[in-house]
Amino acid sequence: MEIDNKLILESSKTLNVLYVEDDEILRNSTQKIFSNYFKGVDTAVDGEDGLKKFNKYKSDNGVYYDLVISDISMPNKNGIDMSRAIMDINSGQAIIFITAHNEATFLLDAIKIGVNGFLTKPLDPEQLKLLLYKTTQAISDRKIIENFYEQVEDLNMKLQEQNRQIQEDKEKLEEQVRLLNIQVHATNTKHQQLEKLLQHKKPEVSETIIDEYFAKDEDEGSENVTFMKDDCDEMSEIFDEITQLLINYGINHDVDCLQQIPEYLNKASIILSHYAPFLDPLSRSFEELASAISNNMDEFIKVLHEDSDSIMMLYDAVGIDMKRYMERFSTESMAMKNIHHIHHPTTLSITQIIASISPDDIDEGEIEFF
């Protein structure tokens, strides 16, 4: 079969070759022939030099030579030993041996290695072209297959990454929906609690007591005291913040939210202490509640999980009472003679909260459920 050079070049012109030959004259002349067919032709003087250059090429370029063409009989390391070492490094390496007629004893070893073909010295042009065509065509076909599998693998990795990202986005969305449902549930629960509170419980009692208080109020001159606007604003922020902390805990169960509550209760206690002796009972109640939560955090968490509605209703009662006091007493004065009527419903709610998380801190007869 006569092979045209153009046909060979279709598959050989992009290939890089290592040519190993110990005869300098033959090496230089044959390199020129190979240079007509291949993109690059590097040479080595023996098997040891060939193995060294094979490894260096991979190190420098990240790929192996496309083809190794080697003499068999060479000093230091012959072509057979060099090829075995190369095949141990790259089992798919394409190799062609150039042999002399008296080297037939090496052919069996060469075949066992799995070389791609043999050329005999001196080189026959037609034999050379035929073997180069078959070998370079096989290398080209293998590269096409390897590129195809690389593309498939790359596509598979991209699909896996997309699936992973989709799964992450799905999990994030599910988590957002879960948190939103919790928040909606918490908001609905608080609205229900507030409606119950406004319709049936403390607001009615508090309103009656406050109305009775003002009906009995007497002018006590310099003893009359009103809430300062800055204190009213800060107290409102405190109770709004505590409400938000309780809601946040219901959403994410972050204990840090609960650990901040005693700090805000102590702030409320300090503000109320500014109005001593009028609001001393309330100030002490908030201080005691802060201490009870701090010292019994595990029990507080347990109660929130087992009976959050009751705790929230009691807390809402306290918050509503305090906001009503501040609204009323920011414009009208507190009278010492009957201020205790105002303390009672609020301190009662605080006492019930303390009792739910720390019964030992409450004396018998002190708890009175409404």
What are the backbone dihedrals phi and psi of residue 96, each rounded to the nearest 5 degrees, phi first?
Answer: -120, 135
Please tell me which residue, 3 or 256, carries the higher pLDDT value: 256
On average, the pLDDT of the chain sits at: 81
What's the confidence (pLDDT) of residue 66? 94
What average pLDDT does range 152-163 have in this prediction? 89
Cβ proximity of 282 and 343 under 8 Å: yes
Secondary-structure class of domain 5-149 per CATH: alpha beta
For the full predicted model, state whether its pTM sits above 0.75: no
What's the confidence (pLDDT) of residue 95? 95
Cβ proximity of 268 and 241 under 8 Å: no
CA dihedral 114, 120, 125, 131 (to 10 degrees): -10
Contact residues for 260 (Cβ-Cβ < 8 A; gap 6+): 245
pLDDT in tens, 40-96: 999 999 999 999 999 999 999 999 999 999 999 899 999 999 999 999 999 889 999
pLDDT in tens, 89-116: 998 899 999 887 656 667 777 777 878 8
Residue among 254, 245, 260, 248 nearest 293 (CA): 260
pLDDT in tens, 321-365: 888 888 877 777 776 655 666 677 788 888 888 888 887 665 544
Residue among 16, 20, 82 nearest 45 (CA): 20
